[in-house]
């Protein structure tokens, strides 16, 4: 029997996934450096990050000179998630799990998606990979942040 695929070590947040997939993204180069060094350890997306990639890709202002269709964006996503170390993580918890995990509190509407992504990562035993330094505020202690978040620098 073949060995099971390793579990994901990192859940890419939407910005990290977009940076990975789009060469004109401001963090594309640093994301590719990170990906080259770490992807084989296992990386993941979830329904929220996949939907964000498609949504942002369809915005005319983001796509710059080229307009793409939903099918093009879905194909871009499929191409990138075909990587052998990719995992699709389920959002298999409710708001009670989010509230319990976010020991630093949730103070506003802009933290909701971040809180769900952080909970997804922790629920599946991996770290949330992000460029967003503010996500750490969802956790009360530095120890929790180090255990749950991998912060990328530009």
pLDDT at 24: 85
Which domains, ranges and CATH numbers included, belong to the chain? 10-151 (3.40.50.1010)
Task: Give yes or no for a contact between 102 and 122, defined as CB atoms under 8 angstroms apart.
Answer: no
DSSP 71-106: HHHHHHHHHHHTSTTEEEEP----HHHHHHH-TT--
pLDDT at 8: 87
pTM of the predicted protein model: 0.91
pLDDT at 6: 52
Q: Model confidence over 31-45: pLDDT tens digits? A: 999 999 999 999 999
Higher-confidence position of 32 and 66? 32
Per-residue CA distances from 96 to 127, 128, 136, 145 (Å): 20, 19, 19, 20
In the predicted structure, residue 50 carries a pLDDT above the cut 90: yes
With CA atoms as reference, report the closest residue to 85 among 125, 39, 127: 39
pLDDT at 5: 46
Higher-confidence position of 5 and 89? 89
Higher-confidence position of 133 and 67? 133
Mean pLDDT of 45-67: 86
pLDDT at 68: 84
pLDDT tier for residue 3 given thresholds of 50, 70 and 90? very low
Extract the tokens encoding 25: 């993204």
pLDDT at 7: 81
pLDDT tier for residue 62 given thresholds of 50, 70 and 90? confident
With CA atoms as reference, report the closest residue to 16 among 34, 31, 33: 31
């Amino acid at each position: 029997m073949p060995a099971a695929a390793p579990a994901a070590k990192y859940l890419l947040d939407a910005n990290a996934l977009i940076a990975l997939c789009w060469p004109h993204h401001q963090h594309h180069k640093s994301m590719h450096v990170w990906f080259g060094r770490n992807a084989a350890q296992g990386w993941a997306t979830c329904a929220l990050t996949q939907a964000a990639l498609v949504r942002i890709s369809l915005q005319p202002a983001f796509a710059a000179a080229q307009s793409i269709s939903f099918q093009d964006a879905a194909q871009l996503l499929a191409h990138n998630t075909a990587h052998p170390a990719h995992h699709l993580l389920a959002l298999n918890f409710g708001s009670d799990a989010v509230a319990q995990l976010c020991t630093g509190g949730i103070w506003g509407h802009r933290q909701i998606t971040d809180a769900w992504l952080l909970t997804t990562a922790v629920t599946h035993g991996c770290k949330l990979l992000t460029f967003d330094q503010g996500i750490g505020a969802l956790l009360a202690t530095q120890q929790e942040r180090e255990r749950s978040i991998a912060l990328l620098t530009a």
